[in-house]
Amino acid sequence: MEDFKSICVTEGIKKVDVIKNPTSFPLIGKGAQGAVFKISSDKCVKICAKPEFAAKEGNVLKIAQESPAIPRLYEVGHNYIIMEYLEGPTLFQYLESGGSYPKN
């Protein structure tokens, strides 16, 4: 099995840079702290530029697991988070196109 741990991501200007990806896992997208790759039909991994980014986002996801709007959290590692792959628009795209999100 291919190892996502061989993927290398560093901090960039507005978004991270993917320095190397010897795997065939496709890049879903990049953010300021990490890059997300699809690793199976229902899972993705976020590789973070710094271990503290993975730890912090991992903690947030852990706390938010009771919410149905948050991806299931599978594993938090040194610089990565394995979570549920969610199909659909981003929250930003959804709200921009007139979608609503309940306050609670």
Ligand X SMILES: Nc1ncnc2c1ncn2[C@@H]1O[C@H](COP(=O)(O)OP(=O)(O)OP(=O)(O)O)[C@@H](O)[C@H]1O
What are the residues binding ligand X (CB under 6 A)?
28-34, 36, 44, 46, 71, 83-86, 90
Contact 9, 48 (CB under 8 A): yes
Contact 23, 3 (CB under 8 A): yes
Nearer to ligand X, 5 or 72 (CB): 72
Contact 37, 7 (CB under 8 A): yes
CA–CA gap between residue 4 and residue 21 (Å, rounded): 8
Q: How far is the CB of 102 from ligand X (least distance, A)?
A: 20
Q: Which residue is nearest to ligand X (CB)?
A: 31
Nearer to ligand X, 5 or 56 (CB): 56
Q: How far is the CB of 32 from ligand X (least distance, A)?
A: 3
